[in-house]
Structure 1
């Protein structure tokens, strides 16, 4: 965040990060919409500079210069949801999670094409299970991808379905 927002004091960057971490709602879609607004419009912060109150936006992603961002793909990333709306400290391992600047923006569930029971519907059901047991992963989720190895579906947020 400091590389993307060099003019913003460290304390304000921490304030912005806390605002993202505080997003909690019993409704996943509502929490995701709050995060999406912060991601696309910036996180508003205020601070003192030269004795005056200043306001600024903290950007979570550098959309203008993508090379300023850090991209990581994690295979079998373990998530333990400790949030108030989580699944009782259960852990799950989505197949792939794509992170941008430490934010899990893409969740991918893949089924083995050699398994005759591996259907696009099974991938969808697995993601649905994740939504109930590790909902905190989906607060920052921008894209979901499901695949049975032959067919793949992607959609924004949690709207992907086996039938669409």
Structure 2
């Protein structure tokens, strides 16, 4: 009789490895019904894919020199999805934000002060927060999606993983 490794087995093994060996945070966002909120993600609606609380806290951690109001404004902007964006242009803009940071300006000692907010800390990678999220329902334009795992960096999705069942047994 052939043996099976289930999707659940693979998912749990991946979560265990990421959490125990790589110090990832873990969120299980499984809900029986797609529309159910709260689901542990902190999202306001199921069309969002960004983890708002993780994003804000991460930006505060890696930008301690910036005022909280500036960080809140940037986090709110990062969570907005443009209604009619040209995908290639928007992806390039987002890539530049991730890679180079975001220019910000705030008042300090009565003067406008320019600075750069880091979205990802490339100089000190351990300062970033890595999160593995399982079973997150996402409302698309037409259909619901629920990837098995999503890897987040500072509350921003980086990779989506769909696990398939593997059959193993004796080879001829």
- TM-score bucket of the superposed structures, by smaller chain: 0.5 to 0.7
Unaligned runs of 5+ in 1: 82-86, 115-164
1:92 pairs with 2:151: no
1:15 pairs with one of 69, 73, 79: 73
TM-score, normalization by structure 2:
0.57
8 Å contact from structure 1 (residues 69, 101) kept in 2: yes
CA offsets 1:26-69 (integer angstroms, 9 cap, x no match) = 43333222111100110111110000001111111111112211
Given the alignment, which residue of 37, 56, 71 partners 2:130? Answer: 71
Per-residue Cα deviation, 1:90-137 (whole angstroms, up to 9, x for no partner):
4310122101111111112333334xxxxxxxxxxxxxxxxxxxxxxx
The aligned length equals 109
How much is the aligned-residue C-alpha RMSD, in angstroms? 2.0
Matches within 5 A, 1:8-157: 8-24=66-82, 25-81=84-140, 87=141, 90-114=143-167
What is the rounded CA distance, in whole Å, between the counterparts of 1:91 and 1:58 in structure 2?
34
Structure index of larger Rg: 2
Instruction: Give 1:23 deviation, angstroms.
Output: 4.4
Task: Give TM-score, length-normalised by structure 1.
Answer: 0.59
Q: Per chain length, whose mean CA-contact separation is higher, i.e. which structure has more relative contact order (CA < 8 Å, sep 6+)?
A: 2
